[in-house]
Amino acid sequence: MKGFTLNKSHLWMTAVYLLIASLYIVNKRVTANEQRLSAEVAALEKQSKWKEGLLRKLSHELKTPLTTISNVSQLAQLHTEQDYVRDKLDTAISEIESMKRAVAQIFELSQVDDADGQRDCEPLEPDDSMQEEDLS
- Nearest to residue 103, comparing CAs of 135, 60, 134, 73? 60
Identity of the residue numbered 134? D
For position 131, what pLDDT does the model report? 45
Comparing C-alpha atoms, which of 44, 57, 18, 17 is closest to residue 117?
44
According to the model, what pLDDT value does residue 116 have? Answer: 43
The phi and psi torsions of 16 (rounded to 5 degrees) equal -65, -45
Three-class SS state of 76: helix
State residue 133's pLDDT score: 44
Amino acid at 105: Q
Q: How far is CA 3 from CA 8, 50, 95, in A?
A: 16, 72, 96
Mean pLDDT for each 10-residue chunk of the chain (136 residues)? 70 91 95 94 91 84 89 92 92 93 82 52 52 44
Alpha helices in the chain (DSSP H): 8-78, 83-111
pLDDT value at position 91? Answer: 94
**Cα 91–55–45 angle (5° rounding)?**
155
Burial class (CB in 10 A: 0-12, 13-18, 19+), 96: buried
